[in-house]
């Protein structure tokens, strides 16, 4: 079938074997895109009642039919039974991983559990299971550097220490800066002892009419690259969205307690303030072949440490506004830190924002926490909490599985723990737009 290889790879970690299966046209047509195919495979193969972190759960990476073929189509979909919601969950991620995986297979199924840490190496239309003992316990930036030395042309999906320790808000990071963040899917890979999936470039699937396809490709690209309608996003990426959210009554500021915040406050984490730190060169700052430029690298110095990271609205809003921190270098550093440790930026910010509100309301004592916390805006406490959550140490062990489980463990504060079916809300307060409330209520998370 055009735009597909009609082929999937199945990695059985328990047996240490890899098999390859034909994917019929009928299935591809019936279950559309990476999400459709991923859900089909999980529904077919994971029985009801399966515990998400058990050996019986499975994990699917599935790029879509157009992944890597048209502008803005760099996504891969990760699908598994979520440790956070215990529902089948999917989370998309960008960068080059999806297009490169698409060069080999239409889906990669990971099942069973390895005895020791491994990584999967995809190349030349096949998969190898290799030892990752030398990578286990290390942060994503260090792991990526090591793997790129061995595989300089590859793209990779990684889990950090949070995924290794089975945090139910652990993410999957692609090439250090993009993520399948929601649903705790990093913990599923961690439960299977999979540290990384490394993918070399492969062969693009064929299209039916290459000349006509190329013509449409250019028209589509030029529309987004030149249309004034998208100029603001091309200039700022998604970072200016906090100002829009604040004006619409949809800000997540101070644990969603202040949906309206003044523009001068929102601007400290948006637009021109972020652009001041924009790094050069600007290439490789967005999805492959995408002219919109949702994100671009920034370089900041925080507490004497220089870091480079690629923030977007959701991460900035949840690690900054939701926790009451309106200092962009600090928030950029927190973004870098959660990427390195493999924590979902949305869930982490939501959990810490809730924690700060608990402190402000006098519902937690310093003795329970283990160190002084001022509440909203406490940068030192936020940094410490992120690290403790990834390490599952002290109060971090209480917070490591997200806001719903944290309030249940402490037995208080659940009335202002913001989540949907156990998953922390995105950075848009639905009270500002009822359609958002409807979408949250009906979303298949």
Handedness of CA 165, 388, 399, 244 (dihedral sign): negative
Contact in structure between 20 and 9 (CB atoms under 8 Å): yes
Question: Cα Rg for the chain, rounded, in angstroms?
Answer: 21
In 251-405, which ranges are E strands?
298-302, 305-309
Domain boundaries, the chain: 7-199, 228-442
Tell me, rounded to whole angstroms, the distance of Cα 229 from its chain centroid: 27
Nearest to residue 203, comparing CAs of 144, 151, 126?
A: 126
Rounded CA separation 147/150 (Å) = 5
Contact present, 390 and 160 (Cβ < 8 Å): yes
Angstrom CA distances, 175 to 92, 93, 190, 216, 287, stand at 14, 10, 18, 29, 12
DSSP SS3 for 25: helix
One digit per residue, pLDDT tens: the chain, 445 residues?
889 999 999 999 999 999 999 999 999 999 999 999 999 999 999 999 999 999 999 999 999 998 988 888 889 999 999 999 999 999 999 889 999 999 999 999 999 999 999 999 999 999 999 999 999 999 999 999 999 999 999 999 999 999 999 999 999 999 999 999 999 999 999 999 999 999 999 998 899 999 999 999 899 889 888 888 888 888 888 989 999 999 999 999 999 999 999 999 999 999 999 999 998 755 444 455 677 778 889 999 999 999 999 999 999 999 999 999 999 999 999 999 999 999 999 999 999 999 999 999 999 999 999 999 999 999 999 999 999 999 999 999 999 999 999 999 999 999 999 999 999 999 999 999 999 999 999 988 7
In the block, tokens 């809730």 appear at 354
Give kind and range of the element (H or E) at residue 328.
helix 328-341
Residue whose C-alpha is closest to residue 184's, from 195, 196, 168, 172: 168
Architecture of domain 228-442: Orthogonal Bundle (1.10)
- Which of the following CATH numbers is that of domain 7-199: 3.40.50.300, 3.30.450.70, 3.90.105.10, 3.60.9.10? 3.60.9.10
- Residues in CB range of 47: below 8 A, 6 or more apart: 56
Alpha-carbon distance of 160 to 287, in angstroms, equals 22
């Amino acid at each position: 079938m055009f735009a597909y290889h009609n082929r999937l790879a199945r990695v059985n970690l328990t047996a240490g074997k890899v098999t390859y299966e034909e994917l019929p046209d009928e299935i591809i047509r019936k279950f559309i895109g990476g999400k459709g195919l991923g859900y089909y495979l999980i529904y077919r193969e994971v029985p009801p009642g399966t515990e998400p972190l058990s050996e019986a759960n499975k994990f699917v990476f599935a790029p879509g039919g157009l992944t890597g073929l048209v502008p803005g189509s760099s996504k891969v979909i990760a699908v598994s039974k979520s440790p956070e919601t215990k529902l089948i969950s999917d989370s998309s991620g960008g960068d080059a991983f999806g297009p490169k995986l698409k060069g080999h297979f239409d889906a990669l199924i990971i099942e069973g559990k390895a005895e020791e840490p491994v990584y999967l190496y995809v190349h030349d239309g096949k998969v190898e299971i290799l030892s990752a003992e030398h990578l286990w316990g290390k942060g994503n930036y260090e792991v990526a550097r090591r793997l790129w030395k061995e595989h300089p042309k590859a793209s990779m999906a990684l889990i950090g220490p949070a995924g290794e320790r089975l945090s139910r808000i652990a993410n999957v990071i692609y090439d250090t800066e993009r993520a399948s963040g929601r649903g705790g899917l990093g913990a599923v890979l961690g439960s299977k002892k999979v540290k990384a999936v490394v993918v070399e470039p492969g062969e693009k699937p064929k299209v039916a009419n290459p000349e006509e396809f190329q013509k449409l490709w250019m028209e589509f690209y030029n529309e987004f690259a030149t249309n004034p309608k998208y100029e603001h996003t091309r200039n700022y990426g998604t970072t200016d969205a906090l100002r829009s959210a604040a004006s619409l009554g949809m800000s997540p500021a101070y644990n969603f307690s202040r949906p309206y915040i003044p523009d001068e406050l929102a601007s400290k984490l948006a637009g021109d303030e972020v652009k001041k730190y924009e790094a050069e060169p600007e290439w490789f700052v967005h999805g492959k072949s995408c002219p919109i430029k949702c994100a671009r690298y920034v370089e900041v110095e925080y507490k004497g440490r220089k870091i480079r990271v690629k923030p977007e609205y959701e991460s900035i809003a949840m690690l900054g506004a939701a926790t009451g921190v309106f200092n962009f270098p600090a928030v950029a550093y927190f973004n870098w830190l959660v990427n390195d440790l493999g924590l979902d930026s949305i869930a982490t910010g939501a959990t810490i924002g809730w924690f700060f509100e608990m402190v402000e309301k006098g519902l937690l004592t310093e003795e329970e926490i283990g160190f002084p916390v001022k509440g909203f805006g406490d940068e030192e406490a936020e940094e410490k909490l992120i690290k403790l959550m990834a390490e599952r140490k002290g109060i971090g062990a209480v917070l490591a599985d997200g806001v719903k489980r944290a309030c249940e463990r402490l037995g208080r504060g659940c009335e202002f723990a913001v989540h949907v079916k156990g998953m922390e809300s995105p950075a848009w307060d639905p009270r500002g737009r009822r359609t958002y409330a409807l979408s949250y209520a009906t979303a298949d998370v």
